[in-house]
Amino acid sequence: MSVPVWFVLTPNVLLLDYAGPAEALRMAAEMGGDLLLHHCAPTPRLGTSLTVELGGLSALPPELPPNSLVIVTGNACEAQDYARPEAHAVVNWLRCAPRADTCTASICSGALLLAAAGLLDHRRCTTHHSLIDDLRAVAPTARVLENRVFVEDGPVLTSAGVTTGIDLALYLIERHAGADLAARVARRLVVYQRRSGHDQQLSPWLAHRNHLHPAVHRAQDAIAQEPARAWTLAELAARAHVSARHLSRLFAEHARIGVLAYQQHLQIAQARELLADGRLSVERVAELSGFNSARDFRRVWQRHEADTPSARRRGTSTAR
């Protein structure tokens, strides 16, 4: 089922806050992601930070379809822009329109609109560094975090804004359309796949991909598509169109990790997800994750985690 994506704009929108994430999601849809983009505002036309106008905007929908993704963009001059009736209309819409299954995100100062609507109450959140104190004033019960690319708390995500909106968009693409597509979109945009250092926001499927070497990406794409497969170095080299020896050198130089270690990194990531299914034994998780035995699985697990697979399943693990 398609994921409806609603970009919500207000007059004097900071154009990069809007265009960066919107282009990333448009490319994801064009490249096979089941995403359906909409662009809406309180008025059919509005001005932007670059003085050019945007037209053909849809009205704010009175109701949202199931599993919608709402992205509220930032503005160039919040003090004046958010005092306008159009901004108040967006706040009122945010109070009423989102459903329980709606994911709501903000770019930069868009967090102030989410806060005014009460969506950040008692949640962790962030915004542009120049607006941290403003956000704390509007959302006094929120835990406003500084120096974060973006913060996720339940169904609400907030970003630091401007180019970090692209980071947030890549994360949302990964969530809704898969890590492989997010990686391909990032390469098409020619951007690093940055992520916050916060553990809950760091995707193991996108780690070690903060580089632009196409051969290494081809090998990493192959492993990500079939992490449980017993890939040989020769097979991966063939996918990457380089020699096996050269691929090993490229991995070390650009991904900063060995080929085998990267394979195991993704196998452990898959195992973490499978352990959430209480119907699967640890032995079955090991098999589905590509390990030869539960013993091998536990041995590699210990290199990555401070607990045991059984403890992780019981929810008694202690994060590093």
| 238-259 residue pLDDT tens | 999 999 999 999 999 999 999 9
**Cα torsion 299, 303, 307, 311: sign:** negative
Cβ burial of 40 (10 Å; 0-12, 13-18, 19+) is middle
pLDDT of residue 316: 38
150-153 vs 156-159, strand pairing mode: antiparallel
Angle CA(288)–CA(289)–CA(295) in degrees, nearest 5?
A: 100
pLDDT at 98 over 50: yes
φ, ψ for residue 46, nearest 5 deg = -155, 155
Residue 248 makes CB contacts below 8 A (sequence gap 6+) with 233, 258, 259
pLDDT of residue 197: 32
pTM: predicted TM-score of the whole model, two decimal places: 0.67
Rounded mean pLDDT, 184-190: 87
| 260-272 residue pLDDT tens | 999 999 999 889 8
Q: Provide the strand spans (E) within 73-208.
A: 103-106, 124-125, 143-144, 150-153, 156-159
pLDDT at 317 over 50: no
Least confident of 112-126, 178-192, 274-288: 178-192
φ, ψ for residue 106, nearest 5 deg = -130, 150
CA 63 to chain centre: 25
pLDDT at 132 over 70: yes
| 32-45 residue pLDDT tens | 999 999 999 999 99
Structure confidence at residue 192 as a pLDDT band (50, 70, 90): low
Report whether 275 contacts 307 (CB < 8 A): no
pLDDT at 152 over 60: yes
Rounded mean pLDDT, 273-294: 91
Q: Chain-wide mean pLDDT for the chain?
A: 90
Q: In Å, what is the CA distance from 277 to each residue of 178, 224, 225?
A: 20, 21, 21
pLDDT at 313 over 90: no
Rounded mean pLDDT, 77-100: 95
Report whether 82 contacts 46 (CB < 8 A): no
d(CA 159, CA 165): 6
- How many other C-beta atoms can be found within 10 angstroms of the C-beta atom of residue 307? 16
Helix (H, G, I), strand (E, B) or coil at 153: strand
Higher-scoring residue by pLDDT: 131, 179: 131
pLDDT of residue 56: 95
Rounded mean pLDDT, 300-320: 74
Structure confidence at residue 129 as a pLDDT band (50, 70, 90): confident
Which tokens sit at 143? Answer: 């835990």
Q: What percent of the chain has pLDDT over 70?
A: 94
pLDDT of residue 199: 33
Rounded mean pLDDT, 278-300: 94
